Structure 1
């Protein structure tokens, strides 16, 4: 009885109080990130005559290129961020250092100098890389193995992400319209400072979660240098990595464009990641762990496809909104960043409903595995681009397109995201080997970043192929890809060895209590 009372004091609305600390921290961090993201591309293409003040005056192509690299790096750096937490600091301290770095980065962006623009982006890349994978891993650490509340806990956490996005895209757009670009960047910095203060003040609710790894816990651990040392002793795996490195260097010299060096560096990095993954696979002791590791890596392909389409919101869709959409509403021109807030607003409205739909489906014994939900989410999100095709047709017919197409597109994107993204976060915490938990979360965000780079490449090609071809192509590819994943669902589920079935081990009474409380 005493243990039950003590546990209840650490819970709020049926979930650990630590969830709400992480919820608020992530909310303000996402406010800062999405607030800056909402104005980044249109700031880069703004000229001296822009009503919000002079931007960088870049071409659309240059803006798409930087946007693609930035979004990719923000998440790819999650890999070293995860390693830092797993091997040295623990998730809790790594999140703290990441939050501090983000405050400095957003504050630097508020300075009206070119050097501050690039320095600020660099600091944000480092900060997100430390914070993003580790705070998500901490959410999973709040729940015991087999706790059916885990998926719903991630959905609640996801509301925090998107509440921050909603506030940012609403307020930052208004601030920029009134006081200019750098006031918007500065507002993002203030938000991140609030997130840092919330996190520091809520430490008492995070005891036992994300702590620094102890010598005992690291007794059978393998460091990253050791993994690469073992790679040197494995001729087959070493040969694979050497071939990939050679191709990467070749790509760096032969790719066209000013950023050819970036592609070369990216492929070299990915080649080393492939080598690391092969060695981690060899280190796993059981067939169950090995199979789960494989299906986890395969799920990252779904993540790349999903975010490669979804991230058009900050690139091609943002420019389309700014230049080709009739934004007049009752005599007032709606700022472009506010349209990105539609996604966050819909998430705030529908997150619990979508999570409850899948939870009820699962309780009834119907198909509701994480991979199935990710595939369905990809299909629904892809169908959202049907409305962007309609927007292009509208523009071609009348010289501007209606806002309703954007509203419908963002609605479909949101329902697809709610079915896929929070579930994929939870999926990683269920299947990842414990000693590589943060690293695998880092890989998930790196896959998200690669999706962002794909989005940037698609934006770059819009000038050559046109928006109609890009939007229609995204629709067709994502729907076919999602259907392919569903067709392969049974063998993929077998590789999980019932990891998600463990949630059904709770008694019926426990499950009913959890569903009632939520």
Structure 2
């Protein structure tokens, strides 16, 4: 049974084994993520190196009251800690708003209308980032637009497949491949424009990318699932005891996924602040922008996501494919190894000595973990959730990233308070804890009672 109320318009599938709609959704998401990551890649560097300098903060509408409210809770913050905390608040909020976006789609507007409105609001937010005075307004608009867009487009992917279809997990990996393609181009274009020619040029380029994503989505509407809102359909059915068990299992999974993804999310925050001083960015006598590290990360993600999709398809044709919880646990072990390596590099090098080759090695290892963690986690969560949850289930899934990014912002404040090797070793330990917990959760999910 397909998730939610969407139904596939096309009975046939192309030779790839996936509906045509998947490719429109993946490329729309690729451009949406281009805009999102283009802005996010610049965000913490923009704040720490430009916007939050004392003589500029007074230009931002509402910032004095905003900072006072934060420091009432945290106490006085250094520039690095303040930038990190703002990053954490913003990047967590974009994963909270999909809950409301999913509910709006399920109950009021339908997924397609909600996605289009979300895209337009995001365009507005990205262009507002080009002005210092509207910084907080822009972050709010992007967070709201992302909430309307992101969960709903992911739930449309899920609705293309029957619940037990093994192609479903591979489809989400393809979908995340689109995300990674967008993330490759974002730092190269938005990052280069922002760091070398002016921050606001980079933010403006992100807005153009969002417009392209909307255009692709609209051009593929005839291939997309039909959309019905729950309020216009039959009366809701009460959750059965099995539905309640499924909800409970899904909710148990959320905090575990939050712990596991913290190290990966730190790449956009404290990692960039550390990296701009740690790595040698000279290539052929020229200094490349710090934000290009995110392109390295995204390129590794594309290669390893594609490799993972091909590997599990090959494996599934010959052997029994491992349970998703085992895949996620293996990813946790790899994450721990990646950040242990980063701790060793930081402990045995001086600022500016690390070759970018080490960055490539770290990002490859980290993204091998990502390829089998976040997309597999989304597939697992949507499969566990009752079908009647529709897009709301995907919005709830993103709660783990809301929690994780709040932790990321808080932990980033320790970057200038503790030895950097210990800072990264702490992140490796977080991955180990998450790995143990996901294995325990998997044992519970596979209990005889559940079988």
TM range (shorter): 0.7 to 0.9
1:191: which partner in 2?
A: 209
Which residue does 1:508 correspond to in 2?
Answer: none
1:323-348 Cα offsets, whole Å, 9 max, x none, are: 23211122111211110112210122
Deviation of 1:458 (Å): 0.9
Deviations 1:142-168 (A, max 9, x none): 112322211111111111001000010
What residue in structure 2 maps to residue 82 of structure 1?
A: 102
Seen in structure 2, the aligned counterparts of structure 1 residues 494 and 31 have a Cα distance that, compared at 3 Å, is same
Aligned residue number for residue 228 of structure 2: 211
Structure 1 alignment gaps of length 5 or more: 1-5, 222-282, 499-518
- Greater fraction of residues in helix: 1
**1:143 and 1:343 mapped to 2: Cα distance?**
30
Tell me if the contact between 1:378 and 1:416 (Cα under 8 Å) persists in the aligned partners: yes
Greater shift in the superposed pair: 480-489 or 194-203: 480-489
Aligned mates of 1:367, 1:479 — CA distance in 2: 23
Q: C-alpha offsets along residues 350-387 of structure 1, whole Å, 9 cap, x if unaligned?
A: 21221233344445554611122122212212221122
Is 1:391–1:402's contact at 8 Å kept on the other side of the alignment? no
> Which among 310, 330, 334 is matched to residue 284 of structure 2?
330
Indicate yes or no: 2:83 matched with 1:63.
yes
Relative contact order (C-alpha < 8 Å, sep 6+): which is higher? 2
Provide the residue aligned with 2:74 in structure 1: none
What does residue 21 of structure 1 align with? 24
Q: 1:7 aligns with which of 6, 11, 14?
A: 11
Quote the offset at 1:307 in angstroms: 2.2
Give the structure 1 partner of residue 408 of structure 2.
Answer: 455
Give the drift of 1:13: 2.6
**RMSD of Structure 2 on Structure 1 (CA):** 2.4
Which whole-Å CA distance do the structure 1 matches of 2:163 and 2:132 have between them? 50
The reply to whether residue 174 of structure 1 matches residue 174 of structure 2 is no
After TM superposition, the score normalised by the length of structure 2 is 0.87
Counterparts of 1:350-389 in structure 2, within 5 Å, are 350-366=304-320, 368-389=322-343
Instruction: State the partner residue of 2:432.
Output: 479
2:233 partner SS: coil
CA contact (8 A) 1:308 1:453 kept: no
2:119 is the counterpart of 1:99:
yes
Task: Give the conservation status (yes or no) of the 8 Å contact 2:328–2:438.
Answer: no
Q: Output the CA distance in 2 between the equivalents of 1:91 and 1:339.
A: 34
Task: Give the equivalent residue in structure 2 for 1:43.
Answer: 46
Aligned residues: 422
125 and 465 in structure 1: CA distance in 2 versus 1, 3 angstrom threshold: same
Which residue, out of 326, 349, 358, partners 1:395? Answer: 349
Q: Any idea what the Cα deviations from partners look like across 1:72-107, whole Å, max 9, x if unmatched?
A: 111111111111112212222211111111111111
CA distance in 1 between counterparts of 2:231 and 2:265 reads 39
Structure-2 change in CA distance of 1:347 and 1:468 (3 Å)? same
Deviation at 1:484, TM superposition (A): 4.1
Identify the residue that residue 236 of structure 2 maps to in structure 1. Answer: 220
How far, CA to CA, are the matches of 2:244 and 2:275 in structure 1? 46
Aligned to 1:263: none
Indicate which of 422, 425, 431 corresponds to 1:469: 422
For residues 55 and 205 of structure 1, do their structure 2 counterparts lie closer, same or farther at Cα, with a shift above 3 Å needed? farther
Match for 1:435 among 388, 391, 403?
A: 388
Task: From 230, 233, 240, give the equivalent of 1:285.
Answer: 240
Give secondary structure in 2 for the equivalent of 1:191: helix
Q: 1:200-349 residue pairs with structure 2 within 5 A?
A: 200-208=218-226, 210-213=227-230, 215-217=232-234, 219-220=235-236, 284-286=239-241, 288-349=242-303
Q: Give the Cα–Cα distance (whole angstroms) in 2 for the partners of residues 158 and 496 of structure 1.
A: 34
Question: Residue deviations 1:14-36, cap 9 Å, x none?
Answer: 21111111111100100000001
- Which ranges of structure 2 fall in alignment gaps of 5 or more residues? 1-9, 59-77
Structure 2: distance between partners of 1:285 and 1:177: 54
Instruction: Tell me which residue corresponds to 1:271.
Output: none
- Note if 1:414 corresponds to 2:367: yes
Deviates further, 121-130 or 360-369:
360-369
* 2:37 matches 1:34: yes
In 2, distance between residues paired with 1:488 and 1:122? 35
Q: Do residues 108 (structure 1) and 128 (structure 2) align? A: yes
CA distance in 2, matches of 1:153, 1:400: 41
Contact 1:383 1:479 in 2 (8 A): no
C-alpha contact 1:22 1:157 (8 A) present in aligned 2 = yes
- Provide the C-alpha distance between the structure 2 equivalents of 1:411 and 1:55, rounded to a whole number of angstroms: 38
- Taking a change above 3 Å as real, the CA distance of residues 17 and 41 of structure 1, as seen in their structure-2 partners, is same
How far apart are residue 467 of structure 1 and its match? 1.9
SS in 2 for 1:98: helix
TM-score (structure 1 length as normaliser): 0.77
